[in-house]
Amino acid sequence: MFKSKLLVIAFICCLVIAAGCGNDESATEEENGISIEVINETENIVIAFAAFFGEDLAEWGEDLLGDEVIAPGESVTFILPEGEYDLSLFNQDFFVINTFFDLTEDTTVVAGGADKAPILVQNTSDSDVLFFFALPGGTIDIESEATIEEAVNDLNNETAEENEENEENEENELEPDEEVSEAWAELWEEIWEGEEYLQHQFLDDREVIIAENGRRYFFVEPGFYDFLIINEDIQPFFEGNVEVFEDTTKVITVK
């Protein structure tokens, strides 16, 4: 899965170049084509680029909006030759708004969503982000970012894990920090063994938030959330019990 996600880095780089070039002609209707309607249901985000990826297009990552935009509350329908397409929507700053994969028939896709609260994840770190979990507030009951990293690193280093277990067996009681680290290790195992966490994973396997300048919107119901973000080095970033509002963009910066 990590390999497939890393391939998306080249995908995004090509996309930024192609989208910047633009296309002055809108998609024209063709016989035996498919219809893809894009509806902008965000509150205040303008769709400036609709980049399509498909073998029958003149360019890989062709921006079919050209000089047009899709303002909030508006929609545009694209008619494309029969085939399979991926679609990425960007604002004027090339922040990813939504991505859609494997479009093969007449369909309607929605950016944002009615009454949804926007979240903007900014990845300023030097590693691509692979996972973004938006869990119900209070799901994760630990507040120490350092202990998250310890737990994750231990679980990916068999020797370190065995040594930790041996040390714990020599003591009757765990120290507070060790208790927290052990709790994170158990949480990490739960994430991959059950669907409770995976159903709150918002990034597709074929998508990443690229390092250093990646920006990606997500849209959730207003409320309280625990945000868990994991990069390609399996380093986590955590914000707990955060309230998000429909009319305000919650910004999360990964450093």
What pLDDT digit, counting tens, does each position of 20-58 carry?
Answer: 344 434 434 445 789 999 999 999 999 999 999 998 787
Domains of the chain: 2-113 (2.60.40), 118-209+221-246 (no CATH)
Q: What is the pLDDT of residue 93?
A: 96
Given the DSSP bridges, would you call strands 75-81 and 85-90 parallel, antiparallel or unpaired? unpaired
In this prediction, residues 84-111 reach a mean pLDDT of: 96
Q: What is the pLDDT of residue 196?
A: 62
Which residue did the predictor score with more confidence, 26 or 184?
184
* 148 pLDDT tier (thresholds 50, 70, 90): low
Confidence (pTM): 0.70
Which residue did the predictor score with more confidence, 15 or 137?
137
CB atoms within 10 A of CB 128: 21
In this prediction, residues 196-208 reach a mean pLDDT of: 82
Contact 44, 120 (CB under 8 A): no
CB atoms within 10 A of CB 145: 13
In this prediction, residues 139-143 reach a mean pLDDT of: 65
100 pLDDT exceeds 50?
yes
127 pLDDT exceeds 90?
yes
For residues 25 and 35, what is the distance between their CA atoms, to the nearest angstrom? 17
E strand map for the chain: 33-41, 49-53, 62-63, 75-81, 85-90, 96-103, 107-112, 117-123, 129-136, 214-220, 223-231, 236-244, 250-254
- Beta bridge partners, 217, equal 120
Average model confidence (pLDDT) across the chain: 77
Which residue did the predictor score with more confidence, 65 or 152?
65
Closest residue by Cα to residue 210 from 231, 237, 183, 194: 231
Percent of the chain with pLDDT over 90: 47
162 pLDDT exceeds 80?
no
Supply the Cα-derived Rg of the chain in whole angstroms: 21
